[in-house]
Amino acid sequence: MKKHLVVALAYDRLCTFEFGFVVELFALERPELGVQWYDFQVCAIEAGPIRAAGGILVQAPHRPELLALADTIVIPGWRDADEPPPPELLDAIRAAHARGARLCSICSGVFVLAAAGVLDGLRATTHWRYTERLARHFPRVLVQPDDLYVDAGQIITSAGSAAGIDMLLHLVRRDYGARVGNLVAQRLLVAPHREGGQAQFLPRPMAYDEQGRLSRLMDWLRANPGLQHTVKSMAAHAAMSTRTLQRQFQDATRMGPVEWLTRERVAIAKDLLESADIPLSQVAERAGFGSEESLRRHFRRLASTSPGAYRRRFAATL
């Protein structure tokens, strides 16, 4: 059986971190997983050694012609969001897209996909520093400024460098299921998937909280999702006014305490759906939704799928 060929692009002024993680994830043999792992290759869009960040030189063994054979193409951060990619690269991307290859970008790599026109009418994301520029230069792209990554089916885009890790692990989960994805994440010592969006990482000042009351409240809410929580009860537990609680949550997370708690409950439900073979009624109870109807409504709103469909896709096979 032919292995799934993943090809990473390399070009002058390459982002070493993003490129290195693509290599780490796909190039290493992983016999302990018991699956046929990917075939991995690198192709350069320019002749000669490629200069990468940190004074590193990369000698790629293949030229862009290899893209015609790739099942998945990964584009690390493009060297300059304002620099048009070479026409021959854009032609190769369009051809790969037309024959059904999967296209993935990390950070500013989305500008290559956008320039090729394959993102027109699709949802996509990039690093928060580039979202306004992406929307301005490519108005037909439906920019999602807060997402860590966006899976649009054939095309998957991710935000800043570390969000590329989230996206690539998501690809593994798509291809091999949650069990293999979790094992790979465990070997890499990273979370199988992170919740929340880019907003949690934006350089917004954290509200002054000398006693660490907000962080302790968050920890307590995560440990007790099944209790009945209101803004008033949360404020009382944190020994602050409801107004102060609302302000500090907005400063820290860019969302109110009720929305933050709902997202945490959905994250807990995801973990239960992946790892525990229990009825949805128990998932709803343990995650703090109280009823299956409430679980389904919030889960679909935040995860864009139903709990049942999520379980079928990601439940670990033992």
The domain segmentation of the chain, as residue ranges, is 5-188, 204-318
pTM: 0.67
Residue whose C-alpha is closest to residue 159's, from 201, 214, 107: 107
CB 83 within 8 A of CB 49: no
Superfamily of domain covering 5-188: Class I glutamine amidotransferase (GATase) domain (3.40.50.880)
Homologous superfamily (CATH) of 204-318 is: Homeodomain-like (1.10.10.60)
| Residue corresponding to tokens 């439906």 | 142
Q: For residues 221-238, give the mean pLDDT.
A: 93
Q: How confident is residue 48, by pLDDT bands cut at 50, 70 and 90?
A: confident
- What is the predicted pLDDT for the residue at 23? 95
101-110, 167-176, 306-315: range with highest mean pLDDT: 101-110
Judge contact between 258 and 242, C-beta under 8 A. Answer: no
- Report the distance separating Cα 44 and Cα 197, nearest Å: 32
